Structure formats: C-alpha cells, structure tokens
Chain A
Amino acid sequence: MGVPYIPVRGLAGTDVFERRDDMIMAKNPFDTDEVTVVAVAQNPDVAILHARKADKDGNALLRRHGEDVMIAQASKRVIITAEEIVDRITPDEIGGEYISAINVTAVVHAPCGAHPTGVDGYYDMDLEHIDTYITASTDDASFRSYLERYVIGKTEAEYQRLVTARVLEPAR
C-alpha cells in the first residue's frame, strides 16, 4: 500500500494501547467527533511464501489469497519457495495469485516444500505426520528429538525421503 499508517476500527475500546506502541487512538481529520485506532505500517525484514510455480527471475504463482501479494510488497526481502520452477510466469497466469519478480529476492525449488501442510492440486496435508508433530510438541526434549530425527543434521531431500517413504507405501 505504501502508506505510513492506516486507520482501523478494530481494537477500539480495549486496553492494548497501554501495552504497545504500534497502535494509538486518533481523531479522524475529516470528522473530529470520530476517533479510530491508527496502526503504524508494518514493513517486515523478510517475507517467506510458498508458491505453486515460479521462474528463475522471481515471478511466482501463489494460492489465490490477496494478502500474499500485500506481504510481498510490504517486505524488504522476499523468499519464494516453489513446487515447480518453470520457464516463465506472467501476470496472465491462471489458477492463482501473481507475484512480480520486482518484489522477489530469492527463489528456491522446494518440491513438497509445504509438507506436512498441503498444496491444492499437488498433495494433501499429511495428517499422520501432523499427529507425530503434535505428540512431539509436549515438551522441549521430545520436540528436540523430533527435530533431530527429521530436520537438524538432515538435508531437505533427506527430510522428504523420511516422510514420503511412509506416504508412498502401498496400503495393505
């Protein structure tokens, strides 16, 4: 949006303003009888987004959610991971939201990169793995074991082999 702040109606009447400095109550300059919340613009250092397709220049096709484009435009640096790297993505692409290379810093080819969450048209979320994750999240030691089994000291390709070995196993 490129604006320094924006008025919003939510949160008015709460005490959050006593605890944080990114939102204040302010008078509407056009109608001073009205008071709204005014929130300072967020310009994050890095945005991380997972796309269906991207090209090596940084153009990408994401799920159809407007906020993804806004996130990319508001952030200083943008990392796109993508299921597929294709020759060229254009604004006319159908089946998703287009993000221009202008907004993208780096593109990574990451097939199955949303796992254990899903990507429409590619794969469903992995309920069994999410269950494993939830069980592992009970305390620090068990989550550390989960990370050591699947993530830390392993490459992404090794992670994918570990989790897809079971998924691809034929049902008995």
Chain B
Amino acid sequence: MRTKLVELSDAVKIISDGDEVVMSAGFTDSPMAMLREIARSDLKDLKVVGVVGGSINLDFLVGTGQAAVLDCCSIGFEPFQREAPNFDRYLKESRIYAMDNT
C-alpha cells in the first residue's frame, strides 16, 4: 500500500477554492497546524463547517479572510467567557455569511 504520509505543504493541495471544509474540536485537538498551512496558501472563499460548534479553529480562518461562509451551531471562546473575536468582528461588519444551526 502506498504511503499517505505527506508534508503540510502537500496536504493543503487537497483543498480547492470554494471547498466546504469541516472540522471538529475546540480548545482541545483543533487541527491548527493545517489551518496555519491554509493561511500560508492563497485558498479563498471556503465554506467552513464546525461539528459540533467551533472556537479558535473557525475563528482563525475567519481572521485570515479565507472563510466566506460559516456553518455551525455555535462559535465562541467559551473557556474565556467571551465571543470568538474575529468571527464577532467579521459578522458585525457583514463580511461573512453565517448559517446558524442552533
């Protein structure tokens, strides 16, 4: 069986502009290294889905300007008792489209 082991820079090529990208987790187990690699790429207009919910992971892709649509049941910085800062700012400025599944 061929190995599926690749570098971050190869894995990011699996993603295309406009893709629906799903992730889980929050302040534990968030795939931040991959999200940083997305930030280093030119990817844009991603539809980002959080199952269940989201925190710094979804907020990061909003902050890099690469998320056009967010689809989740909630997003926040719950351990810090505050809103997700980039999401909150982008939403108030109507710079992202948020689909609320609460």
Contact = CB atoms under 8 A, between A and B. Distances in A.
Interface of A: 10-11, 16, 20, 42, 44-50, 56-58, 62-63, 65, 67-68, 70-71, 74-75, 77, 79, 81, 85, 101, 104-110, 112-120, 125, 130, 133-134, 137-139, 143, 147, 151-153, 156, 159
Contacts of A116: 32, 56
Nearest to B55: A117
Contacts of A113: 31-34
Interface in B1-44: 1, 3-8, 10-11, 14-16, 19-37, 39-40
Contact of B32 (A70, A104, A114): A114
27 contacts: A11-B102, A42-B49, A44-B21, A46-B20, A46-B21, A49-B23, A50-B32, A56-B3, A56-B4, A56-B5, A62-B29, A71-B22, A77-B14, A79-B11, A101-B4, A106-B10, A107-B6, A108-B6, A108-B7, A108-B11, A110-B8, A113-B31, A113-B33, A118-B27, A118-B29, A138-B85, A156-B36
A65 B88 CA distance: 27
Contact of B34 (A74, A110, A125, A134): A110
A11 B77 CA distance: 24
Interface residues of B, number: 53
A146 B100 CA distance: 28
Interface string B62-102: 01100000000000010110100110010000000001111
A143 B63 contact: yes
Given A48-B34, A79-B14, A109 B49 contact: no
Contact of A134 (B7, B29, B30, B77): B77
Contacts of A81: 8, 11, 31, 33-34
B63 to A, nearest CB: 5
Given A113-B31, A117-B32, A147-B39, A45 B8 contact: no
Contacts of A106: 4, 6, 10-11, 14
B99 to A, nearest CB: 6
B21 A119 contact: no
A138 B99 CA distance: 23
B25 A117 contact: yes
Q: Which of B6, B33, B79, B80 is packed against the most chain A CB atoms within 10 Å?
A: B33
Contact of A65 (B7, B24, B80, B100): B24
